[in-house]
């Protein structure tokens, strides 16, 4: 039994079916649209791909795998009796259960936050709602930070809505980007016609007949708008686990076999907080491929094949105001790191707590036009990297960091002032042929 | 004027010599942009999901899927067969 039809839930279902041809696999979901590419929603908003393309699988595929979907809310779990209670009253028994309920966008408690026209971006339903509202909107305000805030800003702009982006601090995403990178993004936003406001806080969302009319800010001004996008962070959907007596913290706590505090209940994806040797207090992230990997590992363990999670380094390739950006490993080392990100209260979608970790490392950076490279160089390995603009080093750096390739010989040259680090890394990468054919780090290592 | 003509021809020869579209499955988020942009109608996404190089004879090596993928999943890489061919040409 799998609760949730996202990346983790489907990956678990697929691998269970592979090893258990006769098992009954039931996927219970609250998403009326089933399984689709959630990262693709931003591309749909930006008009790069049609709706149908977001579905990787056909009905025929689900029939072939004998996967059954039930669209309903799960009220609670009774772990002792191995049953689920659905909201409609039905009781479903299970042998092994996976909680893959994902996360939802948080909302601040700003007055007016529940007016019609205030939107978040979690699901396909949200996306279609945004497209509908945008048709009758001439201007919008976005509050929040991280990747999702810009998906909303760029999405509204692509839909023809004049957009104001309110930053509470003096730069964008200070938790992960450094000042140079923030400015690169902000410049691109302004070139796209977005009005960026700094050091401003929304105090009230104003409405008439329950619809958004404007946003009042702490400087006393009111910005008229019909649409307000909110991206202040996501919260793991841990209530089901919590109400059922499982141990939760920021998310549902699991060990490195994706097992919760109950041996027959597993958890994976955005809702899960994984405890591993590098993160004894547990790590939260909202990344598509790691969710698939966690789902696969959970599924293997549920099918009786004991498999530990071999967690790869946190990587994402995203677009910030059109600037392609790869973020790998530990990059949280900016000078003003002491200040928390004022625009968000937790991670966003496409984000990882690992990125904010400060590595015991030295920075090497280079910048030319619209291209930027920032590396965190430890004693023997590269601990983190951010690649903005030209992506030539995106894959090589992912390999060097993930596989902890020893760069001790290269290190002194990288740290020389004015070093041509792009060239140095490129040459290093090309000099080691075996690196060019990497192991698929997303395939779980089955014991 | 002719410079740019020769340049696009040279690019096409380079693409063909470079072989196949190769995916990095760990980056694919199944958004479908690759399959949507393929002029030959190849389900590139399916290849990306499974980590299989695009070996389909319909592939024009036009590079659209590589260009449009928002996640840097796809690249051209020389396969054994095409590297033999380029050796013959030289």
Task: Dump pLDDT digits (tens) for A272-331.
Answer: 999 988 889 899 999 999 999 999 999 999 999 999 999 889 999 999 999 999 999 999
Q: Which residue of B has its CA nearest to A288?
A: B29
CA distance A266 to chain B (A): 23
CA distance A151 to chain B (A): 13
DSSP letter, residue A4 = -
> In this complex, do B29 and A442 lie within 8 Å of one another by their Cβ atoms?
no
C-alpha to C-alpha distance for A159 and A137, rounded to whole angstroms:
9
Q: Which residue of B has its CA nearest to A52?
A: B32
How confident is the prediction along chain A (447 residues), in pLDDT tens digits per residue?
Answer: 999 999 999 999 999 999 999 999 999 999 999 999 999 999 999 999 999 999 999 999 999 999 999 999 999 999 999 999 999 999 999 999 999 999 999 999 999 999 999 999 999 999 999 999 999 999 999 999 999 999 999 999 999 999 999 999 999 998 899 999 999 999 999 999 999 999 999 999 999 999 999 999 999 999 999 999 999 999 999 999 999 999 999 999 999 999 999 999 999 999 999 998 888 989 999 999 999 999 999 999 999 999 999 988 999 999 999 999 999 999 985 555 545 677 888 899 999 999 988 777 888 888 888 899 999 999 999 999 999 999 999 999 999 999 999 999 999 999 998 899 999 999 999 988 766 554 444 455 443
The answer, for B71 touching chain A at a CB cutoff of 8 Å, is yes
Domain A107-232, classified CATH 3.40.50.300, yes or no: no
DSSP letter, residue A313 = P
Residue A441: the pLDDT is 45
Residues of chain A with CATH 3.30.390.30: 315-431
Q: How far is CA A120 from CA A93, A155, A253, B31, in A?
A: 34, 12, 26, 20
> In this complex, do B51 and A440 lie within 8 Å of one another by their Cβ atoms?
yes
C-alpha to C-alpha distance for B44 and B48, rounded to whole angstroms:
6
C-alpha to C-alpha distance for A430 and A425, rounded to whole angstroms:
9
Residue B25: the pLDDT is 87
C-alpha to C-alpha distance for A80 and A401, rounded to whole angstroms:
43
Domain A2-103+235-302, classified CATH 3.50.50.60, yes or no: yes
Mutation test of the interface with chain A: which of B18, B27, B44, choosing the one with the most A Cβ atoms within 10 A? Answer: B27
Whether residue B5 has pLDDT greater than 80:
no
Q: For A315-431, CATH number?
A: 3.30.390.30
CA distance B6 to chain A (A): 25
How many residue pairs from chains A and B have C-beta atoms closer than 8 A? 63
Q: b/e for A46-66, b at 16 or more Cβ within 10 A? A: bebbebebbbbbeeeebeebe
Q: What's the gap between Cα A368 and its chain centre?
A: 28
ipTM above threshold 0.90? no
Tell me the DSSP string of A57-113.
--HHHHHHTTEEEEE--EEEEETTTTEEEETTS-EEE-SSEEE---EEE-----TTT
Rounded to the nearest 10 degrees, what angle do helices B80-89 and B2-18 cross at?
A: 130
Residues of chain A with CATH 3.50.50.60: 2-103+235-302, 107-232
Q: Which residue of A has its CA nearest to B45?
A: A56
């Amino acid at each position: 039994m799998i609760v949730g039809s996202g990346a983790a839930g489907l990956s678990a279902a697929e691998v269970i079916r592979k090893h258990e041809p006769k098992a009954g696999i039931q996927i219970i979901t609250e998403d009326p649209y089933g399984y689709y590419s959630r990262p693709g929603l931003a591309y749909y908003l930006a008009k790069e791909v049609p709706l149908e393309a977001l579905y990787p699988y056909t009905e025929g595929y689900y029939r072939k795998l004998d996967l059954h979907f039930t669209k309903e809310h799960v009220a609670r779990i009774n772990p002792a009796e191995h049953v689920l209670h659905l909201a409609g009253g039905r009781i479903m028994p299970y042998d092994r259960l996976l909680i893959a309920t994902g996360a939802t966008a948080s909302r601040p408690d700003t007055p007016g936050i529940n007016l019609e026209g205030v939107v978040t971006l979690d699901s396909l339903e949200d996306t279609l709602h945004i497209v509908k509202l945008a048709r009758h909107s001439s201007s919008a305000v976005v509050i929040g930070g991280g990747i999702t805030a810009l998906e909303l800003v760029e999405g509204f702009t692509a839909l023809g809505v004049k957009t104001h982006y309110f930053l509470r601090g003096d730069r964008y995403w200070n938790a992960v980007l450094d000042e140079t990178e923030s400015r690169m993004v902000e410049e691109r936003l302004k070139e796209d016609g977005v009005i960026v406001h700094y050091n401003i806080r929304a105090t009230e969302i104003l409405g008439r007949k329950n619809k958004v009319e404007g946003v009042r800010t702490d400087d006393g001004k009111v910005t008229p708008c019909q649409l307000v996008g909110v991206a202040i962070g996501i919260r793991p959907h841990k209530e089901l686990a919590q109400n059922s007596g499982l141990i939760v913290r920021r998310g549902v706590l699991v060990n490195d076999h994706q097992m919760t505090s109950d041996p027959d209940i597993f958890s994976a994806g955005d809702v899960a907080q994984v405890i591993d040797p590098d993160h004894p207090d547990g790590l939260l992230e909202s990344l598509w491929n790691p969710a698939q990997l966690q789902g696969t590992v959970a599924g293997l363990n549920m099918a009786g094949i004991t498999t530990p999670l071999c967690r790869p380094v946190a990587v994402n390739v995203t677009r910030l105001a059109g600037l392609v950006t790869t973020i790998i490993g530990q990059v949280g080392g900016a000078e003003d790191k002491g200040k928390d990100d004022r625009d968000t209260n937790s991670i966003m979608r496409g984000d990882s707590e690992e990125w904010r970790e400060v590595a015991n490392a030295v920075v090497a950076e280079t910048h030319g036009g619209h291209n930027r490279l920032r590396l965190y160089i430890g004693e023997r390995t590269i601990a983190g990297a951010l690649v903005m603009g030209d992506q030539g080093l995106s894959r090589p750096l992912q390999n060097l960091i993930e596989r902890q390739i020893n760069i001790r010989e290269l290190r002194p040259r990288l740290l020389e002032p004015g070093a041509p680090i792009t060239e140095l890394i490129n040459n290093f990468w090309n000099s080691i042929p075996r690196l060019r054919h990497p192991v698929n780090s997303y395939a779980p290592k089955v014991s | 004027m002719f410079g740019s003509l020769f340049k696009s021809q040279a690019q096409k020869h380079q693409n063909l010599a470079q072989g196949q579209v190769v995916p990095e499955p760990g980056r694919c988020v199944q958004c479908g942009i690759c399959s949507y942009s393929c002029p030959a109608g190849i389900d590139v996404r399916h290849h990306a999901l499974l980590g299989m190089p695009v070996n389909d004879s319909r592939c024009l090596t036009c590079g659209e899927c590589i260009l449009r993928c928002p996640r840097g999943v796809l690249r051209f890489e020389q396969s054994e067969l095409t590297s033999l061919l380029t050796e013959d040409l030289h």
